[in-house]
Amino acid sequence: MQRSERDNKKKESSNWVLGFGNWVTSIMVEPRQILAGFLTVTMFVMLAHMIKRDHFSSHSQVRMSPSQTTRFERSKFAESTAASVDSNGLWKDDAPELEPCWQKPNFEVDPSDGYVTFSLTDGPEYHVSQIADAVVVARNLGATLVLPDIRGTKLGDKREFDNVYDAHKFISSLDGVVRVVKQPPSKISMKKIAVVKVPNRVTKEHIAEKIELVFREKGNIRLATYFPLVNMKKAKAEGDIDSVACMAMFGTLDLQPEVRGVVDSMIERLRTLSRKSDGRFVAVDLRVDVLEKKGCKDKEGSVSKSCYDAGEIASFLRKIGFGKDTTIYLTQSRWDSSLDALKEFFPKTYTKEGIMPMDKKDQFLDSEAPTLEEVIDFYICSESDVFVPAISGLFYANVAGKRISTGKTQILVPANIPGVSASPDNFISHYVTKKNHLAYSCFC
């Protein structure tokens, strides 16, 4: 019993010594831990001050010049603007295609033995108007219309009608309206045919007063359409002549298959390049040679302009919300250094040369005979998701008419925009907002 008590006391003494040792050890360890923690915190604080000084000190080694700062801020603004603008404001879905209001004439004009000949000249924006005037004249005279040839803006640029347009479609679409032949009889000397000047959008009254007498006297006439002014605004109903003009302008011209194929391949290429905008692209009618001729000067007494250069178009597109990924097609055929201001902000800007199939370039890119280039421009601008006319005139007016008829009413007319942004809805063509285009007389 005494031995057991001694053993217990010895064990308790041993446990006490062990506990005391652990306590002493803890007293010795904690100061070291505290010191280490203090040093660690101090080191992080010093590092933080060093980082702060490197980023924000005015003595930093890397500086941004005022011009660099401006470019950077503008770029960031444009990107944020593009992201914040409602996509529907830029890329509106097509409206339903309009239905033709015209009807084929329900009475016969007394036929004659005479022929009406003419040429399509200058470019496709003129062709649709020249076709309409020729059909109206031939219809009112009871004459046979001869399929026109096509003469470009440059000497020697002459083509047969079916090199560009679908001749069968043209002839069949006018069945019952006016007789059409591909060639006049051999007995008719083209050199001796009387030339008659015809104002664009010719009226029945003008035909009766100025043309019919010459036709009855000479038997055959050759029309030379002139354009006293660009007038594609909606007209008052004038009976049969409106239906005939509408049918001729909007229902007769289709591209022949090879040309149509080139246009389709180029549009498909543009849509492929536009993945980030769901295949949508902007077509801009911007031709350097035309800008140089017009000078892009302000109109007298007006804040509006007749044309805008590449830098002004870039500024306009940016301010209404288009971003750097926007794909842009220009009607300029080959790249020109004056377009760099546009490509600087919109890298995905292309001319025909950049997107036309390689095996078609020799045939379709000819600066000495540019008719096919101009036709391609007209149809791509008519079928793009957005059309921006950098140049006022008949090209803009007739592209607008074709777009309206197919429901593609996103036509944005440039302007000098004060400030940093604006809604694209403020720049939709008056042809659309006021429905004052001739197309609204022809379609319902």
pLDDT by residue (tens digit) across 346-380?
A: 999 999 999 999 999 999 998 888 999 999 999 99
Residues 285 and 409 in one domain: yes
At residue 174, the pLDDT reads 94
At residue 163, the pLDDT reads 95
In a domain, 338, yes or no: yes
What is the distance between the alpha carbons of residues 218 and 109, in angstroms, rounded to a whole number?
Answer: 19
Residues 299 and 373 in one domain: yes
Residues 224 and 353 in one domain: no
At residue 420, the pLDDT reads 86
Residues 172 and 235 in one domain: yes
pLDDT band, very low/low/confident/very high, at 296 (cuts 50, 70, 90):
low
Residues 318 and 437 in one domain: yes
* pLDDT at residue 88 is higher than 90: no
Looking at residues 227-249, what average pLDDT do you find? 76
Strand partners, 330: 284
At residue 150, the pLDDT reads 96
CATH number at residue 405: 3.40.50
At residue 229, the pLDDT reads 72
At residue 21, the pLDDT reads 45
At residue 107, the pLDDT reads 58
pLDDT by residue (tens digit) across 19-45?
A: 444 433 443 444 444 444 444 444 443
In a domain, 90, yes or no: yes
Range of the domain at 161: 115-251
Kindly give, in sequence order, each residue whose CB lies less than 8 Å from that of residue 443, ignoring residues fewer than 6 positions away: 98, 99, 100, 101, 250, 404, 405
In a domain, 29, yes or no: no
Last residue of a domain, one of 201, 230, 251: 251
* Of 26-30, 210-214, 306-310, highest mean pLDDT: 210-214
Residues 91 and 234 in one domain: no
106-120, 164-178, 286-300: the lowest-pLDDT one: 286-300
* pLDDT at residue 334 is higher than 90: no
88-92, 335-339, 387-391, 411-415: the lowest-pLDDT one: 88-92
pLDDT by residue (tens digit) across 121-154?
A: 999 999 999 999 999 999 999 999 999 999 988 8
pLDDT band, very low/low/confident/very high, at 386 (cuts 50, 70, 90):
very high
Q: Between these two residues, 62 and 129, which has the higher pLDDT value?
A: 129
Helix H, strand E, coil C: the string for the chain is CHHHHHHHHHHHHHHHHHHHHHHHHHHHHHHHHHHHHHHHHHHHHHHHHHHHHHHHCCCCCCCCCHHHHHHHHHHHHHHHHHHHCCHHHHCCCCCCCCCECCCCCCCCCCCCCCEEECEEECCHHHHHHHHHHHHHHHHHHCCEEECCEEECCCCCCEECHHHCECHHHHHHHCCCCCCEECCCCCCCCHHHCEEEEEECCCCHHHHHHHHHHHHHHHCEEEEEEECCCCCCECCCCCCHHHHHHHHHHHHCCCECHHHHHHHHHHHHHHHHCCHHHCCCCEEEECCHHHHHHHCCCECCCCCCECECCHHHHHHHHHHCCCCCCCCEEECCCCCCHHHHHHHHHCCCEECHHHHCCHHHHHHHCCCCCCHHHHHHHHHHHHHCCEEEECECCHHHHHHHHHHHHCCCCCEECCCCCCCCCCCHHHHECHHHHCCCECHHHHEC
At residue 56, the pLDDT reads 21
pLDDT band, very low/low/confident/very high, at 182 (cuts 50, 70, 90):
very high
Residues 170 and 240 in one domain: yes
Looking at residues 259-272, what average pLDDT do you find? 97
Residues 350 and 241 in one domain: no
Looking at residues 221-250, what average pLDDT do you find? 80
Percent of the chain with pLDDT over 90: 55
Domain count, the chain: 2
pLDDT by residue (tens digit) across 89-105?
A: 799 888 888 898 888 77
pLDDT band, very low/low/confident/very high, at 188 (cuts 50, 70, 90):
confident
pLDDT band, very low/low/confident/very high, at 235 (cuts 50, 70, 90):
low
Name the token pair of 182. Answer: 């591909």
In a domain, 2, yes or no: no
* pLDDT at residue 427 is higher than 50: yes
Looking at residues 317-343, what average pLDDT do you find? 93
In a domain, 21, yes or no: no
60-74, 239-253, 389-403: the lowest-pLDDT one: 60-74
At residue 104, the pLDDT reads 78
Residues 288 and 360 in one domain: yes
At residue 288, the pLDDT reads 86
Residues 350 and 429 in one domain: yes
Last residue of a domain, one of 187, 218, 251: 251
In a domain, 128, yes or no: yes
Q: Between these two residues, 94 and 292, which has the higher pLDDT value?
A: 94
Residues 153 and 269 in one domain: no
* pLDDT at residue 443 is higher than 50: yes
Residues 262 and 216 in one domain: no
* Of 106-120, 176-190, 407-421, highest mean pLDDT: 407-421
71-80, 84-93, 126-135, 332-341: the lowest-pLDDT one: 71-80
pLDDT by residue (tens digit) across 159-179?
A: 999 999 999 999 999 998 999
In a domain, 31, yes or no: no
In a domain, 46, yes or no: no
Last residue of a domain, one of 202, 223, 251: 251
pLDDT by residue (tens digit) across 40-57?
A: 444 443 433 333 332 222
